[in-house]
């Protein structure tokens, strides 16, 4: 039986992103046909590290680290920067509420340079930005 903890952690950032009414957010998959940019495509990983700071003395894994990989997509470099800015504003230094968990602040990780993609016959650019959150029970 699942405790739904992974989904609650994934939704922490997705909910914050969705609160920005000017930001189109996709969770793990862009619909087909692909919509026009700008938008952000989010991939989430949830892990329970071996040496987590909140792990119990008995060795039980209680620390959860969630990472969101935000693919910010726009038609120009300026548009990608604007999406990155909106994503950063929505997530950075936020302390989400996850029932039964002590939540740290969402922190920004790696930011990759924008990539050009013209395989569809028009220019689309994207930049990946990572954010992470550590929680304990």
Q: To the nearest whole number, what is the mean pLDDT of the chain?
A: 91
pLDDT digits (tens, 9 = 90+) for 95-122: 999 999 999 999 999 999 999 998 878 8
Q: At residue 6, does pLDDT exceed 60?
A: yes
Q: Where are the beta strands (DSSP E) in the chain?
A: 25-27, 39-47, 64-74, 102-103, 107-111, 115-117, 124-136
Say if residues 3 and 28 touch (Cβ distance below 8 Å): no
Say if residues 125 and 117 touch (Cβ distance below 8 Å): yes
Query: What pLDDT does residue 1 have?
Result: 39
Query: Could you tell me the pLDDT band of residue 78, with boundaries at 50, 70 and 90?
Result: very high
- Please give the C-alpha separations between residue 137 and each of 13, 74, 80, 98, in angstroms, as whole numbers: 18, 38, 36, 10
- Please give the C-alpha separations between residue 112 and each of 19, 32, 47, 71, 127, in angstroms, as whole numbers: 24, 25, 22, 10, 6
pLDDT digits (tens, 9 = 90+) for 13-41: 999 999 999 999 999 999 999 899 999 99
Query: Could you tell me the pLDDT band of residue 126, with boundaries at 50, 70 and 90?
Result: very high
Query: Could you tell me the pLDDT band of residue 55, with boundaries at 50, 70 and 90?
Result: low
CATH class, domain 5-136, is: alpha beta
Selection from 34, 16, 30, 26 nearest residue 87 by Cα: 16
Say if residues 73 and 125 touch (Cβ distance below 8 Å): yes
What is the reported pTM?
0.91
């Amino acid at each position: 039986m699942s405790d739904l903890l992974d989904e609650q952690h994934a939704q922490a950032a997705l909910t914050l992103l969705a609160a920005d009414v000017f930001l189109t957010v996709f969770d793990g998959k862009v619909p087909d046909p692909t919509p026009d940019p700008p938008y952000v495509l989010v991939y989430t990983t949830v892990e329970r590290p071996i040496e987590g700071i909140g792990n119990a003395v008995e060795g039980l894994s209680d620390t959860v680290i969630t990472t969101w990989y935000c693919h910010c997509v726009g038609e120009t470099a300026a548009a990608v920067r604007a999406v990155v800015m909106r994503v950063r504003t929505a997530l950075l230094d936020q302390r989400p509420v996850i029932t039964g968990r002590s939540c740290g602040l969402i922190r920004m990780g790696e930011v990759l340079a924008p990539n050009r993609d013209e395989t569809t016959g028009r220019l689309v650019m994207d930049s990946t930005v990572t954010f992470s959150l550590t929680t304990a029970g």
